[in-house]
Structure 1
Amino acid sequence: MAPGTLMSETKDLPNTTASKILPGRIKQQESALLHRSLHKAPLEVVSASGHYLTTADGRRILDSTCGAAVACLGHGNERVHAAILKQLNTVAYANSLIFTSTAPEELSRFLVDSTHGHMARAYILSSGSEAMETAMKLARQYFMEKSTPESQRINFIARRESYHGTTLGSLSMGGHVARRALFEPMLLKNVTRVSQCNAYRGMSGHENTESYVARLAQELDDEFQRIGPDTVCAFVAEPVVGAATGCVPAVEGYFRAMREVCDRYGALLILDEVMSGMGRCGTLHEWEQEEVVPDIQTMAKGLGGGFAPVAAVMLNHRIVDQFIKGSGIPSHGMTYQAHPVACAAALEVQRIVQEEDLLANVRKMGTLLGQLMHEQLDDLPYVGNVRGKGLFWGVEFVRDKVSKEPFDPTEGVGIGIHELALEEPFSLSLYPGAGSVDGRRGDHIMLAPAYNVTEAEVRHIVDLTAATIKKFFEAKDA
């Protein structure tokens, strides 16, 4: 799950354009909308088509990140527009407490079938944060539905430098220090954390992949023992960490080892694929590449491609069978769950991805994207690490390549590169982030192009990204 940039950390930075009112930006004093920042004036988008956004000042900005890794088909797809209009003319809303309709039934069937029999039911929602809240509640209920309820299972184990949403429950699950700070006294106390699987930051010089995984598995096992193994509901993790660290994939064998620890103590495995799933990393579900099936899975961004607010939770047979044997009533519900229009939009997006074989293009163009990024960025003095998978790539910036020392957060490196990229002659939208080292320090940017991106467009995106980074640090060092 991926929130907007931490503007609260950049509002006073003189070396970025964050504080300027530029042509094409909404003037805060004239707006009635509570924007993501009341110090930064947002650009006004007046139209969008394909991979480009047009702003009020006439700039044509290349959307190299699909917004927040959302617009997986780009903008303005006529097939999806037609599907939405057709649904609006059929039924726009039906109370899911009483009714169902074709679109949510067909979308859920598509999602379940896409797992080749591993998952059993889908729960359709409106946002990634809602999906994580739902996953947490259904995980707890699973243990309470047993013939001998395991009421002591109230704890969750997540990972540091993670992000799982912005509502109080999902924010409690996440480990991003800066985003939690203001609300820390209000957050749940039954979530503990272990280390991320981040080879660049976490693997020591004497370790290989196998020993690194073994150490992380032992750390998770130790945490089970520390808080009481029979009190743990679930271990929660992103297969490829998005906003919190900038596209960090797990090393080979990591999730198999984590699954073994969970199984040892009867806990569930929840995989958060809100940002990395639904094709972003080259397979519809990222866990297919890990050879691990979660008990509960969350998804959102690439599900509906930004054409409608839609998210989902999928449950495997273990969970659903227990619910059927028990009360048969998930103790959860939301007004807009299984919204017919959102479901129709998501279903058409997924049909296009399937019919046009776009996952093959994600894999092919993702390989090219990674190759070009390594070629153009690895040797730059302030680039510490280039990493990613599929069409989901990140760049971490460091003050010193040898020590991996990050920049001071007040320097605003990630947001500064993002702001510069928006300006001419670059006119490029990059996704910035902060806190990749410890929740406060560490700057990164992310690239997440649409699944139908071409080779020429990939090359252009990397050229612009490299040029922006070089220009930013030239100005910074001047």
Structure 2
Amino acid sequence: MVLIKLDSAADADGANGANGVKTSGTSAVLHRHLSHEFLPLIRSEGNYLFLEDGRRVFDASGGAAVGCIGWGNKRVAQAVMAQILDAPYCASIFYTTRVHEELCRSLVNSTNGHMSRAYIVNSGSEAMEAAIKLARQYFLEASPSQPQRTRFISRKQSYHGITLGALAVGGHELRREKFEPLLMNNVSRVSPCSPFRGKTAGESDDSYVDRLAKELEDEFVKVGPETVCAFIAEPVVGAALGCVPAVPRYFKAMQAVCQKYGALLILDEVMCGMGRTGTLHAWEQEGVVPDIQTIGKALGGGYQPVAGVLANHRVIDALERGTSSFVHGHTYQGHPAGCAAALEVQRIIQEEGLLANVREMGDLLGARLRDKLSKHPNVGDIRGRGLFWGIEFVADEQSLTPFPAEAHVAMELSELGLNEKYSINVYPGGGSADGIRGDHIIISPAFNVSREEIETIVSTVTRLVSDYFASENKR
């Protein structure tokens, strides 16, 4: 395979380029990159992707942390087909479907009574758009109404979606830069909780949390606490930072600041949620309950486009006491086929006890990655939770200086992994150091991955990393 250097800003989902070689551009598809030919995928089965040229690639990232039960599951396919034959579409302005109701009830019940209702859409970006509008409407519906609350606070080096509203509340500079004039200007950002890059020498976790909580409170005061709708964050940061969990007590401290000033807490679990980090909802491990939560990716496991929003009783009660409506809607919201896929995927996760496997295999994956790669001079940090692990690369092991953004280290390394010698799919990302520089890959296999497959992933990624930095003379 020919390795290419690509514009890392062009990929909306965090894989900063195309897995392909230079071509004359004969496709009729408006691809992410117009001058590159993408590898033809002809089928997928279990944890493997089969390409048209005969290659069999181990999908160690589940695409973009989407695949959670592996590929080719006939049970899910049959559930989707049965729903399509019964009712392929539902105009939600007039009707509902049993499968839509069952999915939302299942999701609400999974929160141990904390959440009140669910809203089903087709992508994580759509879910974040809905969450933003729901937060705003909450303050208009709450008594007394608070129309001055129009601002949001999020974090630097964050990614919450690629549509204009979702992009506006995110902090991924490369994705934002071409569209800055179009984005809302009522969003400000504070530092992420990223101990590898953010903690000072000798600083304890508690001191670090206190410093970040003060930074958030200072931002509330600066913009006017009475103007803030919500603080938005990922419990485990995915594409923008590369699987970075918060240190203990962080989210309790952030929620305390929100509660002090009457703002909502929105947790974006599109990438890290629905079991990916070892519990169905990532916030279960943080000791907090969000006011609004977004979900996606592992919700439907890639079998249909599906994502959603969960809202707690505080938010829904305000709407019910007020206009009793949510001023938002999509033609394909609550799509029956998407709901059928998500419901069946979630049933399989529960019936097969896959969350326990996520925790067990996740511990093994993290330990083995650290055992094999932590001493590599170009590996700066290995971090993660459950089956959601990131490796951040550095140009200098002493100063932890990142590679230049134009080197496209993560993308090149990921493309090398598709060569037959390795035949493994890992997910590349950039900007983890300062929003522009900083390369990382994500390893996020299916929830039913075996111990033997974990060993295969680790040994292959170890060879891949070692060979890449040796052959490219990046050190």
SS at match of 1:35: coil
Relative distance call for 1:28 and 1:243 in structure 2 (3 A) is farther
- CA–CA distance in structure 1, aligned partners of residues 176 and 163 of structure 2: 11
Give 1:207 shift.
1.0
Which of the numbers 286, 291, 296 marks the counterpart of 2:292? 296
Is 2:331 the partner of 1:332? no
Pick one of 25, 28, 36 that aligns with 1:29: 25
**CA–CA distance in structure 1, aligned partners of residues 57 and 135 of structure 2:** 42
The one of 306, 310, 316 aligned to 2:312:
316
Q: How far has the Cα of 1:148 moved from its partner?
A: 2.3
CA distance in 2, matches of 1:19, 1:448: 22
The residue number in structure 1 matching 2:452 is 456
Alignment partner, residue 14 of structure 2: none
Looking at structure 1, the residues matched to 257 and 18 of structure 2 have their Cα atoms a distance apart, in angstroms, of 47
1:398 and 2:394 are equivalent in the alignment: yes
Output the CA distance in 1 between the equivalents of 2:254 and 2:361.
30
Tell me the equivalent position of 1:243. Answer: 239
Q: Does 1:471 align with 2:467?
A: yes
The DSSP-based 3-state class of the residue aligned with 1:463 is helix
1:183 to 179, 184, 203: 179
Question: CA shift at 1:463, angstroms?
Answer: 0.6
Letter in 2 for 1:130: E
* Structure 1 residue 465, shift from structure 2 partner: 0.5
By how many angstroms is 1:237 displaced? 0.1
Residue aligned with 1:206, SS: coil
Task: Say yes or no: does 1:73 pair with 2:72.
Answer: no
Residue 10 (structure 1) shift: 8.9
TM-score when normalising by structure 1: 0.95
Aligned partner of 1:20 in structure 2 is 21
Q: Could you tell me how far apart the structure 2 residues matched to 1:461 and 1:72 are?
A: 16
Give the conservation status (yes or no) of the 8 Å contact 1:277–1:285: yes
Shift of 1:7: 4.0
Aligned residues: 465
User: In 2, Cα distance between the equivalents of 1:360 and 1:147?
Assistant: 43
Equivalent residue number for residue 417 of structure 1: 413
Does the 8 Å contact 2:20/2:38 carry over to 1?
A: no
Partner of residue 169, structure 2: 173
1:393-452 CA distances to partner (integer Å, 9 max, x unpaired)?
A: 000000112211000111111011101100021011110011111111000000000000
Percent identity, aligned pairs only? 54
Q: How far, CA to CA, are the matches of 1:294 and 1:18 in structure 2?
A: 37
1:96-111 mapped onto 2 (5 Å cutoff): 96-111=92-107
Report how far residue 85 of structure 1 moved. Answer: 1.0
Deviations 1:12-64 (A, max 9, x none): xxxx996735xxxxx56221111111133211001110000010100000000
Q: Aligned partners of 1:320 and 1:36: how far apart in 2?
A: 38
Residue in structure 2 matched with residue 439 of structure 1 by the alignment: 435
Query: Equivalents in 1 of 2:5, 2:330: separation in Å?
Result: 29
CA distance in 1, matches of 2:338, 2:324: 26
Deviation at 1:6, TM superposition (A): 9.9
Q: What SS does the corresponding residue of 1:41 show, helix, strand or coil?
A: strand
Cα RMSD of the aligned pairs, angstroms, is 1.5
Q: Which runs of 5+ in 2 are unaligned?
A: 11-16
Correspondence 1:255 to 2:251: yes
2:198 to 202, 212, 220: 202
1:228 to 200, 224, 230: 224
Tell me, in whole angstroms, the C-alpha distance in 2 between the residues paired with 1:407 and 1:7.
15
* Alignment map for 1:81-160 (pairs within 5 Å): 81-160=77-156
Distance in 1 (alpha carbons) for counterparts of 2:354 and 2:8: 37
Distance 1:6 1:450 in 2: 29
2:43 maps to a residue whose letter is S
Deviation at 1:353, TM superposition (A): 0.1
Distance 2:408 2:5 in 1: 10
- The answer as to whether partners of 1:382 and 1:398 remain within 8 angstroms in 2 is yes
Other-structure match for 2:13: none
Q: Is contact 1:10–1:18 with CA below 8 Å preserved after alignment?
A: no
Question: What residue is the counterpart of 2:344 in the other structure?
Answer: 348
Q: Which ranges in structure 1 are unaligned for 5 or more consecutive residues?
A: 22-26
3-state SS of 1:121 partner: strand
Aligned match of 1:271 in 267, 273, 284?
A: 267
Q: Please state how far the C-alpha of 1:101 moved relative to its aligned partner.
A: 0.6
Distance in 2 (alpha carbons) for counterparts of 1:205 and 1:238: 25
- Is residue 25–residue 36 contact of structure 2 (8 Å, CA) maintained in 1? no
What secondary structure does 1:410 align onto?
A: helix
- 1:285-340: CA deviations, max 9, x gaps? 00000010000000000000000000000000000001000000101011000011
Alpha-carbon separation, structure 2, partners of 1:172 and 1:55 = 36
Distance 1:19 1:316, change over 3 A: closer
Structure 2 partner of 1:8: 7
Aligned to 1:83, the other structure's residue is in SS state: helix
> Match for 2:249: what amino acid?
G
TM-score when scaled to structure 2?
A: 0.96
**Does the C-alpha gap of structure 1 residues 10 and 240 become closer, same or farther in structure 2, counting only changes over 3 Å?**
closer
Q: Secondary structure at the match of 2:25?
A: helix
Give the letter aligned to residue 91 of structure 2.
Answer: N
Q: Give the Cα separation in 2 of the matches to 1:291 and 1:324.
A: 27
Equivalent residue number for residue 24 of structure 1: none
Distance 1:98 1:7, change over 3 A: farther
Contact 2:18-2:38 at 8 Å conserved across structures: no
